[in-house]
Chain A
Amino acid sequence: MIALELSHVSKSFASRGQSLEIMRDVSLTVQAGEFLVVVGPSGCGKSTLLRMIQGLETLSSGSVRVGAGEATTRGFVFQRDGLYPWRSVLRNVMLGLELAHVPVSEAKPRAEAMIDLVGLRGFEGHYPNELSGGMRQRVNLARALAIDPDMLLMDEPFAALDALTRENMQQELIRISAAAGKTVILITHQIDEAVLLADRVAVLGARPSHILDIVRIDLPRPRTLDLKRTPEFQAYVDGIWTMVTQAETETRVGG
């Protein structure tokens, strides 16, 4: 079943009276239950792509078709967690349910289950300013999972974390996404993160961004961090890295 279909998506911004083309003719199909990672250099419009899927951004041309249309729920995990400092962890996780008018008697146990899933049991009553960066990202993820979305959209969720916490969170995400069985679209600029997590990696080239290639990652699941030391893993990373750097050099020469 097709969960998401992007066809010929282009995007331009008006900037200082000029039209700035940031995305050109991106077509992509994601199957239900698939874990797709989009990688590309900084500023190539990866986040814009995700925001268009969520409906936070308009397209200039082309179309985005999401499974069952508007009925398809999408949980968004923000790069900067955007937790509400006046709400406890529990109430932050309940936000999406509350906005959808789900009664508290139903929302609370669901939020608690998600807090449990991301490994924050016992922190329900804490406030965001009492949590570390890694814990805040877990809440961010739990908040997205709480609405039981058909699709999880993750915008560089671990970019602001230190290397150790990031690896820890990658491992957690592997566990959680396997448990939750969602379609996941994750944006990152870290190639090893992409290879570790993805069923397929879509490689974007620099502005105007376009798809250079889509690489299927045939590595066994469940995956662990040990996988990063295997030659097969390295081969995937090197291949994608070469693609990205070549594209960057071309842009620089061309531009």
Chain B
Amino acid sequence: MSITTTENGTVQAQRPASGRRTNYRALRRGLTSFIILLVGWELIGRFVLTNQVFAVPFSAVVQSAIEMWGRGELQTNIAASLTAVAYGMVLAMIIGILIGVAMGASTAFREYVEPLLTAFYATPLVAMAPILILWFGIGIASKIAVVFLMAIFPIAINTSAGIRNTDREYLEVAYAFRASRLQAVWKVMIPAAIPFVVTGLRLAVGRAIVGVVVGELFGARAGLGFLIFTAGQTFDTPSLFVGVITLAFIGMGLTLGIRAVEDRISGWKGTVQE
């Protein structure tokens, strides 16, 4: 993780003059790749892999999606998954930010907690899903638990990094105006850490989606993971792809949304990268 700042401690929005045009060009190129992929898929599905269990053309997936939407099946499962993601993310945000702020503000606390967090962050926690289902039962509670476990670590670690990266100069200004230690945390460190927190959220959202799907694969009665699992069991390949593609869209949408927030913030505070 690095943060780039100029010598006066702040960064102007560093966008090239032709930024907008570059964005459109990048968008056009990205869309081209998608179209090539989809056309290739359609052709292979129609003419090469004609066994409907192993592969289906893209058009069959679209048709299946329309049918599932008509039956209300797709919406229900999207709602079930998103609900679990939302609850898990909100919990992870509250507790993750609290832990991160405490770690950033107190060296002792950080030295106790950071090794644990780093270890858990590096562990593929989806492997915990079966035991979480044993603990919390089949249903939304276990899914929330998996999402929470997946999401909390990047949030806590990034928040802590953000607090500790607070420009010394900003703190100096606060102390020159007779700020208390608590005021320095609240009025300087936390606002200065926000770009890091948002980056943590973006990393967490991706992991949260993986978490909810894995939770639903192992045991659930609804959700996109459940949909995929059922489709796989019944050799309903088009429905399986509907589930996967819907997840891709949700993941992309959430990530892009948070990235947009990051871009807006980067106007007032450097560029934060993981």
Interface residues of A (CB under 8 A from B): 54, 56, 74, 76, 78, 80-87, 95-96, 98-100, 127-129, 147, 160
Contact = CB atoms under 8 A, between A and B. Distances in A.
A100 B179 CA distance: 8
A15 B223 CA distance: 63
B194 A86 contact: yes
A84 B179 CA distance: 14
B176 A85 contact: no
Contacts of A160: 8
A87 B191 CA distance: 9
Given A82-B169, A99-B177, A129-B13, 7 more contacts: A78-B176, A82-B170, A84-B173, A99-B187, A127-B267, A129-B10, A129-B267
B22 interface: no
A123 to B, nearest CB: 16
B263 to A, nearest CB: 14
A84 B177 contact: no
Nearest to A100: B178
Contacts of B179: 99
Contacts of A80: 7-9, 169
A128 B268 contact: yes
Nearest to B267: A129
B10 to A, nearest CB: 5
Contact of B177 (A86, A87, A127, A147): A147
A174 B174 CA distance: 27
Contacts, number: 65
B76 to A, nearest CB: 41
Interface in B153-201: 167, 169-170, 172-179, 183, 187-188, 191-192, 194
A98 B184 CA distance: 12
Interface of B: 7-13, 167, 169-170, 172-179, 183, 187-188, 191-192, 194, 267-269
19 contacts: A56-B175, A76-B177, A78-B176, A80-B169, A82-B169, A82-B170, A82-B172, A84-B170, A85-B269, A86-B191, A87-B191, A95-B173, A95-B187, A96-B177, A99-B174, A99-B178, A99-B183, A99-B187, A129-B11
Given A78-B169, A129-B268, A160-B8, A84 B176 contact: no
A78 B107 CA distance: 28
Contact of B9 (A82, A86, A147): A82
Contacts of B8: 80-81, 160
Contacts of B192: 84, 86
Contacts of A56: 172, 175-176
B168 to A, nearest CB: 10
Contacts of B170: 82, 84
Nearest to B175: A56
A82 B173 contact: yes
A22 B161 CA distance: 34
Contacts of B268: 85-86, 127-129
Contacts of A127: 267-268
A54 B191 CA distance: 25
B10 A85 contact: yes
B191 to A, nearest CB: 5
B250 to A, nearest CB: 30
B7 to A, nearest CB: 8
Contacts of B183: 99
Contact of B176 (A54, A81, A86, A129): A54
A98 B267 CA distance: 25
A84 B191 contact: yes
Contacts of A147: 177
A74 B175 CA distance: 12
Nearest to B184: A99
Contacts of B11: 129
Nearest to B9: A80
Contacts of B178: 96, 99-100
Q: Which 4 A-B pairs have the closest CB atoms?
A: A85-B268, A96-B177, A82-B173, A76-B176
A74 B177 CA distance: 8
Nearest to B188: A84
A207 to B, nearest CB: 23
B22 to A, nearest CB: 21
